[in-house]
Structure formats: C-alpha cells, structure tokens
Structure 1
Amino acid sequence: MMEQVYGFTMQDGPGAHFAATADHLFADIWSRPGLSIRDRRLLLLGALTAQGQIDVAEIQVGAALHNEELDETQLREIALFLCHYVGWAQGTKLDAMVGRVAANRK
C-alpha cells in the first residue's frame, strides 16, 4: 500500500520504530474501506498545512501529481481554500510549494 500511496518504491527507514509505524499506517490505516487514497491525501494535505509542515506536504503533492489524483490547478485551489481556514501564510506556502513541485515535474 505504501508504494500505491506514494507512486514509487519506498525504502525501509532505520529501526523497528519506522517499520512498526509504516506497517500500521499503510497496512491498517491507508487500507481501510470508506475513503479513497485521494480522500485521505486531501485530508492529510489539510492537516499538514494547518501544522505548517509544508516540507512533509511536498511528499503528498508529488505523489498526488504522480498518481494523477490531483492536478496543479486543483492543488492550487486547495491552497487558496486552506488560506481561509488555516491561515493565509500557511496556504500561501502550500501554493508556492505546489508551483515548485509542478514545475520540477515538467
């Protein structure tokens, strides 16, 4: 499931903590019925932006573009929407990052 979510082969991180976290998160949480991967990614983008974790959100943006779940226009709309709920600065940082990631993919 981890490869399906991110669109590329993920290497195991160091230690048992990473393994236990990844196993639980992708085998149990991302695999649950009821929400699509795209739905979960949208929620995660909102949560990460609200917490100011734009560097971590960049992984999700790249995966969403790679997996064709969202396009640049939709991601920029998400950033604008989030400006009004998580703060203009955080939404603007997300928008700028979306622009960088999209440009790098072209």
Structure 2
Amino acid sequence: MNEVYGFDVEDGPGDFFALTVDHLFGEVWQREGLSVRDRRLLLLGALSAQGMLDVAEIQVGAALNNEELDERQLREIAIFLCHYVGWPIGTKFDALVGKAVGGRMRPE
C-alpha cells in the first residue's frame, strides 16, 4: 500500500482493513500484465466515471509523488474525461490536479 500511494499508511482497526489491504495491495496491484501506472490510469478513469473525485484526488497525488504521471499528463486526462464522463467531472478533475500540483510546489 505504501508503494502504491507513495507515503506511509497506518493499519486501520479490525480484520476488514488488514484483509483488504493485504489482498488489494499485496496481490491485485502486484499482478503481472499491468504496471502500477497502468492500474492508476484505469482507477482514475473508473473513479471519475463514478463521480468519486475525492478518492481520485488521492490517486492524483500518489501518481505525482511516485512520478508515474506529471502535470501535463494529468491535465490531458482531464480533457479526455470531459468527453467521456462529462464536462462537470472533467473540469473538477482538472481543478483537483491544480490543487495537487499547487500543494506539491509549496515550500515545506
């Protein structure tokens, strides 16, 4: 999970979280045939199509942090999504890219 998100993630309470994380990130994200970047692109499309931009924002940040996608590529995804999932979603996606990129450029 830490590799996929690019930051340390603490365990949640109970068996549900542990089983989900072990299976999803230990097996599904690690299968042969698709890279982590490929899976991230698919997930960004699926989340956007469902209007789950709050979760997509986490994936955008992870893609930037892991250097799988850059700002130009993420902006291109927003344009593409406008035509397949609608202008409101694509526009919101573009805004969250700007927010994620802006957050990375702030000095710490």
TM bucket by the smaller chain?
Answer: over 0.9
Aligned CA RMSD, in angstroms, stands at 0.7
Q: TM-score, normalised by structure 1?
A: 0.96
Q: Which residue of 2 aligns with 1:60?
A: 59
* CA displacement, residues 54-75 of structure 1 (integer Å, 9 cap, x when unaligned): 1101111001100111001100
Shift of the alpha carbon at 1:13? 1.3
Structure 1: 5+ residue runs without aligned partners?
A: none
Q: What CA distance in whole angstroms lies between the structure 2 residues aligned with 1:65 and 1:87?
A: 24
Q: What CA distance in whole angstroms lies between the structure 2 residues aligned with 1:99 and 1:87?
A: 19
SS at match of 2:27: helix
Aligned positions, number:
105
Q: What CA distance in whole angstroms lies between the structure 2 residues aligned with 1:13 and 1:53?
A: 21
After alignment, is 13-22 or 76-85 more displaced?
13-22
Question: What one-letter code is carried by the residue in structure 1 that aligns with 2:61?
Answer: G
Shift of the alpha carbon at 1:8? 1.1
* CA displacement, residues 30-58 of structure 1 (integer Å, 9 cap, x when unaligned): 01000000000000000000011111011
| Pairs within 5 Å for 1:1-106 | 2-106=1-105
Q: What CA distance in whole angstroms lies between the structure 1 residues aligned with 2:6 and 2:99?
A: 19
Q: What CA distance in whole angstroms lies between the structure 1 residues aligned with 2:12 and 2:25?
A: 14
Shift of the alpha carbon at 1:15? 1.6
Structure 2: 5+ residue runs without aligned partners?
A: none
SS at match of 2:68: coil
* CA displacement, residues 53-104 of structure 1 (integer Å, 9 cap, x when unaligned): 1110111100110011100110010011011111111111110000011001
Q: What CA distance in whole angstroms lies between the structure 2 residues aligned with 1:53 and 1:13?
A: 21
Q: What CA distance in whole angstroms lies between the structure 2 residues aligned with 1:57 and 1:48?
A: 6
